[in-house]
Structure 1
Amino acid sequence: MLVSPRDVLGRDVGPDVRVQFTSLRGPVVRSLSLGSDGPGTTPHVVVLPGLGLPFYTIPTARAIASRGLACTVLDLPGFGSNLPRPTSPSIHAAGLLAARWIEARRGDRPVVVLGHSTGGQAALTAALAVGVHHRRLALVLAGTTFAPEQRRLDRLVRATPFAYRDDRLDQIDPMEVWRGRTGILAMLRSGLHDAPEERIARLTAPLTVTAGVHDAFAPLAWLDQLALAATAAPSVRTSLLGGSHNNLFTHPDEVADLVLRAAADTTSE
């Protein structure tokens, strides 16, 4: 099913964005897709946004599509429209439903799961679930939250002004924030209670960890901790890019180039 992006997103994201709906035997997942699938060996990129706010990820999704890869942003847990939410507002619920979407829509096609911020925590959940029987998979964790020292609200608040130093107000759709409201707080609480450095040890897919160089939520020491903890991953790369926390909006080409490298990991022997 296709509808106008403006009708359901609130802000005009351009005619190249296709709004789609996928029924997963109950939940209906809304997604924003760019690019077109090539041969069955061409990787598909699936994006999980931070705090369930999809709008700011569109520049990176568009940059990925311009490099010849199809890209789909999943609106999970569902703050991007007025439709009923397909899942509860928690990182693990969003990640598990994302895994179901990947299994239903992508089949045997190689997949890169790109998760940003709390969406990175959800993407790890999805990759662990999908990776059980889908071997052509890579995971990109961008600006992943939360470093152990930031899992207290007072410490997180102190880091926040420094995390967004290179970002702009126009990267956020106010309607998504309004729709999310208490759900966004629930996503935040869910992320604060997670320990991705423990779960990532079970990841058996190629891993990329990245963040903006000025992202106080994802300092280099935290990226290194995640990379070192991924002991079962066949390959791990760490990369600092331009910008701060929301560099998917401000530096989309840099992020897309890194995702393209991760896509090559899914097709290499």
Structure 2
Amino acid sequence: MKVRLETDTAESPSAVSAHARIRSIWIHSLHWPAPNARADVVLVHGLGVASRMCAPLGRLLSERSRVWAPDLPGFGMSPHTGVLGVEEHADLLAAWVEANRLRSPTIVGTSFGCQVVAAAAERHPDACRAVVLGAPIVQADRRTWRQQLARWPRERQSMQLQRLIVEDFARAGLPRVIRTFSAALHDRIEDRVARLSQPLLVCWGTRDPLMTRAWVAELAGRARDGRLAVLPGARHALSHDSPLPFARAITHFADQNGGL
């Protein structure tokens, strides 16, 4: 069943809400229909937040594609009592793609969502045709809480995103956020991308203080078919605070791999 989400109409007037039961878990998603589009795109949100973080990017990409943005279990409007690891989230994402009969979508992760997207593409190669990692936060030489927390205060966010984070973190609960990110810190995304069979795009904004250009270049270089897009002036939360350059990079990449 799909219903229009009033809370999201200001950001994305064409978005509708959907729920799907995947392995006994209800997963909520936002969907931007595009009846004449040829391709599907799936957007995966960052840590603690939910699909509405992706609304600005979803609206832009929906000009050419059918866009979907699920809430990972335990976040947003996808209730779940347990805490899932990266691979568990990835397996559910792949099952959700299949249940919605998406046609070999391009899957796009932002921040923590990159961990889930990379794992889904590695473990379920048929679930997607191309992979985009936007601001992959867990840099290989920064896998401790101390290293991560030292950099988080340097990130600049829009007031709208700050309000969204407060609301979504409160809904998810701090213990869930902590345990989820602890699992992400131990997930070696650099090893996963080396095993991907799909084309890979890594995007990094020059105003993102949470990772270095050297790291994202290394990540792109590890893939069999990887490339890096440096987005001047873009922030860490690419899908919300820098959606236009992010959308342009995704569209250009997709045009080289069958189009959106």
Normalization by structure 2: what TM-score? 0.89
Amino acid at match of 2:117: A
| Corresponding residue SS for 2:93 | helix
Amino acid at match of 2:5: P
Cα deviation, residue 15, structure 1: 3.5
| Corresponding residue SS for 2:119 | helix
Q: Determine if contact 1:24/1:101 at 8 Å carries over to the other structure.
A: yes
Cα deviation, residue 263, structure 1: 2.4
- CA 1:129/1:64 → structure 2, altered by over 3 Å: closer, same or farther? same
Q: Determine if contact 1:29/1:86 at 8 Å carries over to the other structure.
A: no
| Long gaps (5+) in structure 2 | none
| Long gaps (5+) in structure 1 | none
Pick aligned residue for 1:110 from 104, 109, 123: 104
Cα deviation, residue 198, structure 1: 1.2
Number of residue pairs matched? 254
| Corresponding residue SS for 2:2 | coil
- CA 1:86/1:13 → structure 2, altered by over 3 Å: closer, same or farther? farther
Deviations 1:5-45 (A, max 9, x none): 247x7x96444111101122422211001132436xx2211
Pick aligned residue for 2:72 from 66, 73, 76: 76
Write the distance in 1 (CA, Å) between the matches of 2:215 and 2:236.
14
Residue 263 of structure 1 pairs with residue 254 of structure 2: yes
Residue 57 of structure 1 pairs with residue 54 of structure 2: yes
Write the distance in 2 (CA, Å) between the matches of 1:198 and 1:100.
23
- 2:123 is matched with 129
- 2:139 is matched with 147
Q: Determine if contact 2:44/2:109 at 8 Å carries over to the other structure.
A: yes
Cα deviation, residue 137, structure 1: 0.4
- 2:205 is matched with 212
Write the distance in 2 (CA, Å) between the matches of 1:25 and 1:249.
30
- 2:91 is matched with 96
Please, what is the CA RMSD of the aligned residues? 2.2
Cα deviation, residue 220, structure 1: 0.8
- CA 1:116/1:14 → structure 2, altered by over 3 Å: closer, same or farther? closer
Cα deviation, residue 87, structure 1: 6.6
Deviations 1:73-103 (A, max 9, x none): 110023212x532873432221111111112
Amino acid at match of 1:45: V
Normalization by structure 1: what TM-score? 0.86
What pairs with 1:183-202 in structure 2 (closer than 5 Å)? Answer: 183-202=176-195
- 2:5 is matched with 5
Cα deviation, residue 158, structure 1: 1.4
Q: Determine if contact 1:141/1:208 at 8 Å carries over to the other structure.
A: yes
| Corresponding residue SS for 2:141 | helix
| Corresponding residue SS for 1:140 | strand
